[in-house]
Structure 1
Amino acid sequence: MTTRATWNEWASGREAPCITDWLREISEPDWSATVNHPLFDALAAGRLSGEAFAAYMVQDYGFVDPFTALIGHAIGHAPGMADRVVLGRFMGMLTSDENDTFQRTFEAFEVPQSVREAPDYLPATLAFRDLLHDTGHGGSYAEMLAVLVVTEWLYLEWAIRITRAEGLHPLMGEWIDLHDNPAFQDFVAWLRRRLDEEAAGLDDAAFARLAERFRDTVVRERAFHDAVHPR
């Protein structure tokens, strides 16, 4: 299912086939289940309590450190300065604007310092942290891009899908805004384009590993969101 031959068969007859579109398709139904997760509908409608939102953000913040490390590995493995510049700018946003949103959320919803310093991570959170660590330390540049494409593209898709209610808590609205703005849309488009380009030059074995890494990331994203907000 994740071989180059399967991709070639899927691409034949399509006018402008993209590997990232194929990767998304072979990751169903987990892809759509994540994009359409009830957590995001509750968040956008103002039905998510402050306590539930803070608990979700505590778990999600568990990805920031290993995710930042993954980006660092990607910068180091990038083929040239052009990629390093884009990835470096994204790391700058992650460690400034996004990190600040987390910290102000913890303050606003009175998350205890003990929880911030030593969170009780859910098994799904730990599994995703492991994936980020393993990809950074043992994955190819294409595999690192695959994980980044999944994490950022999924978040963009849910953010542009939802309809925000009037009177939403500012920090909840800010969380949505971080994942639905022109700069973020451009970054996701760049990630997809670079993954398409990198994947095209891989040998068959590396291509299969890339596809499996993509699918595994989607599976873990769904598992994480199901864990923090059971259906």
Structure 2
Amino acid sequence: MKLFDRLKDAASESWREYTHHSFVEQMAAGTLPKEAFQTYLVQDYLFLIDFSRAYALAIYKSRNLKQMRSNLLGLKGLLEVEMDLHVRICERWGLSPADLEQTPLETETLAYTSYVLEAGMRGDLLDLKIALAPCVIGYGEIAERLAEVPGALAKDNPYAEWISEYAGAEYQELRSHAIAELDELAPSHIEADQFQRLVTIFDQATRLETDFWQMGLKRLPTR
């Protein structure tokens, strides 16, 4: 059984709350308020900056050149491809680069990014990758499921682009790689106390992802 599946089973309640959150369910239905998605887009951009720092930390934490090169490719992909893609998506939603750069971090964003970086600083490369797993792997799982919802990829659904991006072959390959990487980094035998420590990291990061979705809904203007 893959380590990711073991972690997901051990944190099943938190994982379901994250992957079936009202935010993503409304995206599939096309009913998510525009303001909620805009809040998410801006904060996700800010999150990606610290996500890139986490990959830089992963290079430092790597045990060998193969791991260093792999994490360097991930870092370059974030800085040179995904950040630009995110800016273009934001522009289509009426958000300029200045809007992104001038917006302060929300508490939920700060809590999440701080936790991921702290987990990586305190632990080893496996700890860091497990802290990143709910984001890297979870987005792929969520989008794959949402893509199967009738009408989710319809042209009149404003969130079809987000869903198709993460449900697409390129991101699904990244998801599969991240799942396999956890097994490559894990020791052949994980003691019960070590596994519980890994579950704690995974569960906490998952709950912080849930808070990230909820942040968008909480910041909706009152009518």
Q: TM-score, normalised by structure 2?
A: 0.82
- The 5-angstrom pairing of residues 35-46 of structure 1 reads 35-46=19-30
Indicate which of 31, 37, 43 corresponds to 1:53: 37
Do structure 1's residue 228 and structure 2's residue 212 form an aligned pair?
no
Report the Cα distance in structure 2 between the residues aligned to 1:168 and 1:92, rounded to whole angstroms: 33
Report the Cα distance in structure 1 between the residues aligned to 2:182 and 2:64, rounded to whole angstroms: 15
Do structure 1's residue 214 and structure 2's residue 202 form an aligned pair?
yes
What is the CA-CA distance between 1:228 and the residue it aligns to? 1.7
Indicate which of 162, 170, 195 corresponds to 2:182: 195
3-state secondary structure, aligned to 1:62 = helix
Pair 129,144 (structure 1): closer, same or farther in 2 beyond 3 Å: same
Number of aligned residue pairs: give it. 213
What is the CA-CA distance between 1:209 and the residue it aligns to? 3.0
- The 5-angstrom pairing of residues 98-117 of structure 1 reads 98-111=82-95, 115-117=99-101
- The 5-angstrom pairing of residues 22-101 of structure 1 reads 22-101=6-85
3-state secondary structure, aligned to 1:29 = helix
What is the CA-CA distance between 1:29 and the residue it aligns to? 0.9
3-state secondary structure, aligned to 1:229 = helix
Report the AA paired with residue 83 of structure 1.
Q
Deviates more, 1:104-113 or 1:151-160: 104-113
Report the Cα distance in structure 1 between the residues aligned to 2:205 and 2:113, rounded to whole angstroms: 11
Report the Cα distance in structure 2 between the residues aligned to 1:113 and 1:78, rounded to whole angstroms: 33
Report the AA paired with residue 166 of structure 1.
A
**8 Å CA contact 1:70, 1:135 repeated in 2:** no
Name the counterpart of 1:3. Answer: none
Report the AA paired with residue 82 of structure 1.
K
Pair 55,166 (structure 1): closer, same or farther in 2 beyond 3 Å: same
Name the counterpart of 2:106. Answer: 122
Do structure 1's residue 18 and structure 2's residue 15 form an aligned pair?
no
Name the counterpart of 2:138. Answer: 154
**8 Å CA contact 1:69, 1:136 repeated in 2:** no
Report the Cα distance in structure 2 between the residues aligned to 1:166 and 1:192, rounded to whole angstroms: 30
Pair 118,201 (structure 1): closer, same or farther in 2 beyond 3 Å: farther
Name the counterpart of 1:132. Answer: 116
Report the AA paired with residue 200 of structure 1.
P
Cα distance per residue 1:44-93 (max 9 Å; x no partner): 33223443322210111121111101111112222223333333333233
Pair 108,22 (structure 1): closer, same or farther in 2 beyond 3 Å: same
Any unmatched runs of 5+ in structure 1?
1-16
Deviates more, 1:97-106 or 1:146-155: 97-106
Report the AA paired with residue 105 of structure 1.
I
3-state secondary structure, aligned to 2:31 = coil
Any unmatched runs of 5+ in structure 2?
219-223
Pair 183,166 (structure 1): closer, same or farther in 2 beyond 3 Å: closer
Name the counterpart of 1:174. Answer: 161
Cα RMSD of the aligned pairs, angstroms, is 2.4
Q: TM-score, normalised by structure 1?
A: 0.80
